[in-house]
Amino acid sequence: EAGGPHKVRIADIEALTREGETLAVVVTRPEFAQLGEQLEASRRWLVRARTALSKEDPLTLQELDALLDEADDLPVETEEAATLGCRAWVMRAAAAVSQTVSRKTLGNLCEASWTGPDWEGAMETRTAILAKRYKSDTWTARAKKLMADKGGINECKVLLEELEELGCETEEQNLIEYQLEKAQDWQDKAAALMAEDADTDSKALKALLRESD
């Protein structure tokens, strides 16, 4: 995936280590002393990653994340880490398609990009998550327009029902729910006021009408 700290290949570290062994003087800088430790840690991780990927049963998301967290602390990039990252993405994206997630989560998933057979094989999931994001973007645009136009209570309810069916959470949803609650409260107060007396105080009516503005 694009971004993140700069990483090198294990082969590059091995070559640099071999070069250091041929020097006629002893290098004492801490960075060089740590190079061998990082190389060994990377090799140990690579063995465990390959073993995990070779298992017949697929890795759980928790297992994938554990290996990826360790890889983040290593200075090397490997095909194994990319494969693990892609598989974790596929699992998260598949869950996001079928579950309720935030619009931000959808955006983060859609911005990810991987290479390799696992990514190519995830075309259906990739298409589904992109479609869900598009629908959430379309819904958000409609919600903003509805609020700007001061839409009716029924329109707001329909829009919220659509969002629930889509399985997405947005900031606009909270705003519509708040405004809908206020509108419903106003309606209840208006009904109660009109039911009290046919000759309801005009001041009370005017105050109520000001609330609706």
Could you tell me the sign of the dihedral formed by the alpha carbons of 78, 82, 83, 88, in that order? positive
pLDDT in tens, 106-127: 999 999 988 888 999 999 999 9
Residue 48 or 196, more confident: 48
Determine the Cα–Cα distance for residues 88 and 64; give it in Å rounded to an integer. 6
3-state secondary structure of 161: helix
pLDDT of residue 157: 92
pLDDT in tens, 72-88: 988 888 899 999 999 99
pLDDT of residue 200: 52
Residues 6 or more apart whose Cβ sits within 8 Å of residue 28: none
pLDDT in tens, 122-164: 999 999 999 999 999 999 999 999 989 988 889 999 999 999 9
Cβ atoms of 109 and 92 within 8 Å: the answer is yes
- What average pLDDT does this structure show over 173-202? 76
Q: Which two tokens stand for residue 122?
A: 């995830």
pLDDT in tens, 92-108: 999 999 999 999 999 99
- What average pLDDT does this structure show over 158-183? 92
**Is pLDDT of 29 > 90?**
no
**Is pLDDT of 205 > 90?**
no
Spacing of C-alpha 141 from chain mean position: 20
pLDDT of residue 88: 96
**Is pLDDT of 64 > 70?**
yes
pLDDT of residue 3: 46
